[in-house]
Amino acid sequence: MNSTAQIAVSIPHEIREKILLQWLHDATPSMQSESMRNLFDAWFIYVDPNGVKKENCPKCVLNVFENWRSMQQDLVEAEREYNLLNEL
């Protein structure tokens, strides 16, 4: 399992679900977007808790947005695994 897959699995199901079904779909890489603010907060809670949140840095916000997009497939796989395990 690669590191982004491990991160995806470590994110609680309820948050992964919101990321996949709402936040990634609705977000624009701007802190004016509520979904982007949620993604930004989730990034520093679940992915980089020791990172420095720079909400006034457009490049930082864009990086978080792009990082979530690049993790999308791993998040989908983690949700698939979660759902399969819950069906047993």
Region of residue 2 (left: phi > 0; alpha: psi -120 to 50; beta: else): beta
Number of domains in the chain: 1
Kindly state the tokens that stand for 29: 């890489």
The predicted structure's pLDDT at residue 2? 56
Cα torsion through 27, 33, 34, 40, rounded to 10: 70
pLDDT tens track for 26-53:
999 999 999 999 999 999 999 999 999 9
Print the domain residue range for 75.
3-87
- Tell me the whole-structure pTM to 2 decimals: 0.91
